[in-house]
């Protein structure tokens, strides 16, 4: 158990819909990262937040947005969903924004299926 929790575990929805994925980082971790894992693209970094502020952006679509709240939990919002958004979405957290090495702790993931 990494200490990172994600809800829900599974989500099935239809094209065009909007969903919110939730992540609670390990206690004390200020950084939260979101990754997407699909069959054709592998594991891809989407976005990072550090203590409520966006810190780094990866291959995140404009239809996707994220935020980190004062209690440090984070939400990833996916809108106008397409079939290709079906994937595993992982959240990870780490201990400090300026960590000299990059140990990230991953949650169990949310499996999103868009029908």
Partner 1 sequence: DAKTTQPPSMDCAEGRAANLPCNHSTISGNEYVYWYRQIHSQGPQYIIHGLKNNETNEMASLIITEDRKSSTLILPHATLRDTAVYYCIVSNFGNEKLTFGTGTRLTIIP
User: Site residues (CB under 8 A) for partner 1?
Assistant: 2, 4, 31, 33, 35, 42-45, 48, 55-56, 58, 88, 90, 92, 94, 97-109, 111
- Tell which phi-psi region holds residue 100, choosing left (phi > 0), alpha (psi between -120 and 50) or beta: alpha
Q: With respect to partner 1, which residue has the nearer C-beta, 3 or 16?
A: 3
User: Closer CB to partner 1, residue 61 or residue 88?
Assistant: 88
Toward partner 1, which CB reaches closer, 73 or 111? 111
Closest alpha carbon to 32 in 72, 82, 5: 72
Smallest separation, CB 107 to partner 1 (Å): 5
Adjacent-strand bridge partners of 74: 23, 68
CB of 98 to partner 1, least distance (A): 7
Q: What count of other Cβ atoms lies within 10 Å of the Cβ of residue 115?
A: 10
- Smallest distance, Å, CB 30 to partner 1? 11
Cα distances (angstroms) measured from residue 91 to each of 10, 19, 30: 14, 15, 13
Residue 77 C-beta: closest distance to partner 1, Å: 20
Query: Which are the contacts of 95, defined by CB distance < 8 A and separation ≥ 6?
Result: 26, 28, 29, 30, 31, 103
The smaller minimum CB distance to partner 1, of residues 61 and 106, is found at: 106
């Amino acid at each position: 158990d990494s200490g990172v929790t994600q809800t829900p575990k599974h989500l099935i929805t239809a094209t065009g819909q909007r969903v919110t994925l939730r992540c609670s980082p390990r206690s004390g971790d200020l950084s939260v990262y979101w990754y997407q894992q699909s069959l054709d693209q592998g594991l891809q970094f989407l976005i990072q937040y550090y203590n409520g502020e966006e810190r780094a952006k990866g291959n995140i679509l404009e239809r996707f947005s994220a935020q980190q709240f004062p209690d440090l939990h984070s939400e990833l919002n996916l809108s106008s969903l397409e079939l290709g958004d079906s994937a595993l979405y992982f959240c990870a957290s780490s201990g400090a924004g300026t960590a000299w090495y990059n140990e990230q702790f991953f949650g169990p993931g949310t499996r999103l299926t868009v029908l």
